[in-house]
Chain A
Amino acid sequence: DIQMTQSPSSLSASIGDRVTITCQASEDNRNYLSWYQQKPGKAPKLLIYDAFNLEAGVSSRFSGTASGTDFFLTISSLQPEDSATYYCQQFDNRPQYTFGQGTKVEI
């Protein structure tokens, strides 16, 4: 199975900061990498799919990039409503969907 290593596990930043979260896949997953935002007691919300694509209705503050098997979620200018836990998720055709361990963002 493809393993996902997400870092950092938590971070604290200020309003307006640029924040980047990293997810590393154990092998090539053809950019089948998505990012979700989850607030306490709520269902996750899709932010980015297939590594780069912004889900409709999601703020353009969020962006996804990739370099080989490393994937990055960047929040360009942190806002109070961005306080949440962020998860990466990969897919392969076995099929297998695997999530990272999450990054808690505090403001």
Chain B
Amino acid sequence: EVQLVQSGGGLVKPGESLRLSCTVSGFRFSYGWMSWVRQAPGKRLEWVGRIKSETDGGTIDYAAPVKGRFFISRDDSKNKVYLQMNSLKTEDTAVYFCTTVTVISYFDYWGQGSLVSVSS
């Protein structure tokens, strides 16, 4: 059974940083692409970014609203993917989900979500 367990999240002030982690089991992690998706309160889902497997080049892509502030990384030895969020803004307040991207076009398995609140 594939499981994604997230940690991190919390309340921070604008301009501060936060890191989310996602540990994956039951999945060939080193071959898998991973993604982060967020959902602001009462809003639609929004893609944040994606990291390919090292065997596929390890390319990382970001959505425009977070490019240059958010950074995705992975540690295949620990089956973990990370989302480093810098220069946080109030509009980054959302529940953040990590997901697997087994096939390029969709998100098949999801973590439980991590709430990030940015407020002064």
Interface residues of A (CB under 8 A from B): 32, 34, 36, 38, 43-46, 49-50, 55, 87, 89, 91, 95-102
Contact = CB atoms under 8 A, between A and B. Distances in A.
A50 B45 CA distance: 18
A34 B50 CA distance: 17
A95 B45 CA distance: 16
Interface of B: 35, 37, 44-47, 50, 61, 63, 97, 103-108, 110-113
Main secondary structure of the interface of B (DSSP, over half): loop
A98 B47 contact: yes
Main secondary structure of the interface of A (DSSP, over half): strand
Given A43-B110, A43-B111, A43-B112, A32 B44 contact: no
Given A96-B47, A99-B47, A101-B44, A44 B104 contact: no
A99 B45 contact: yes
Contacts of A50: 103, 105-106
A91 B106 contact: yes
A99 B105 contact: no
A8 B88 CA distance: 33
Contacts of A97: 35, 37, 47, 50, 107
B50 A95 contact: yes
Nearest to B98: A43
A42 to B, nearest CB: 8
Contact of A34 (B37, B106, B111, B113): B106
A26 to B, nearest CB: 16
A99 B106 contact: no
A92 B108 CA distance: 17
